[in-house]
Amino acid sequence: MKDFLLILKTEGSVWTDLSPEQLQKHMEHGTAYIGNLMKEGKLKSANPVDKGSRIVTDKNGILKDGPFNETKEVVAGYFLISAKDIHEAVEIAKANPIFKDIPTAIEVHPMMPVGGN
């Protein structure tokens, strides 16, 4: 088993773009999906991203922090999962019901174990 970080990026936000009924459905589907991952013991941690993200950049040797550019693509949250390999991790990402509700991209990053591979 290997750990994978799944970063969810959406165009717009479910909180503002969905109707209350759609949002209700969205939450139900999400809860079921996450519940399943937990039951299978594949979920290590998951969290939605709150408002107020900042980005820290180096401008000519000076570190600055500013608002994260959220005009189009929003980081909606992350999942830390454990899966057999990248293929299983991708399948898990594909099964996320969020794809049905809002334009979404999920990045799947394999985590390097202690001591490398």
Partner 1 sequence: MSDQSEINQLVDHLFRHESGKMISVLTRIFGSHNMDLAEDVVQDSLLEAIKQWPYKGIPDNPSSWLFMVAKNKALNIVSRDKYKRQYSKEMSHFLQSEWTLEPTLNHPFTDQEITDDQLRMMFTCCHPSISPDSQIALILKTLCGFSIPEIAKAFITTEETINKRLVRARQKIRDNGIPFEVPQGKDIAKRLETVLESIYLLFNEGYSASSGENLIRYEVCEEAIRLVKIIANNPVIENKSGVYALLALMQLNASRFKARQDVEGNILTLEKQNRSLYNYTLMEEGFSNLKRSTSAKEISIYHILATISAYHCSAVEYKLTDWKSILILYDKLVLIDNSPIVLLNRAIALAKVSGAKKAISELEQLRSSSILKSNYLFYSTEAEFFIELNLFSHARTALKKAIRLAPLETERRFLQKRLSDCC
The residues that touch partner 1, with contacts defined as CB under 8 A, are 30-31, 34-35, 38-39, 43, 45-48, 77
Q: Closest separation between CB of residue 97 and partner 1, Å?
A: 12
Q: Cβ-count burial of 5 within 10 angstroms (0-12 exposed, 13-18 middle, 19+ buried)? A: middle
Report the residue number, 2 or 44, with the smaller CB distance to partner 1: 44
Q: Closest separation between CB of residue 77 and partner 1, Å?
A: 7
Q: Which two tokens stand for residue 38?
A: 């937990």
Report the residue number, 96 or 108, with the smaller CB distance to partner 1: 96
Classify strands 62-67 and 2-11 as parallel, antiparallel or unpaired.
unpaired
Report yes or no: 14 and 30 within 8 Å, Cβ to Cβ.
no
Q: Closest separation between CB of residue 32 and partner 1, Å?
A: 8
Report the residue number, 15 or 68, with the smaller CB distance to partner 1: 15
Q: Which two tokens stand for residue 91?
A: 């399948």
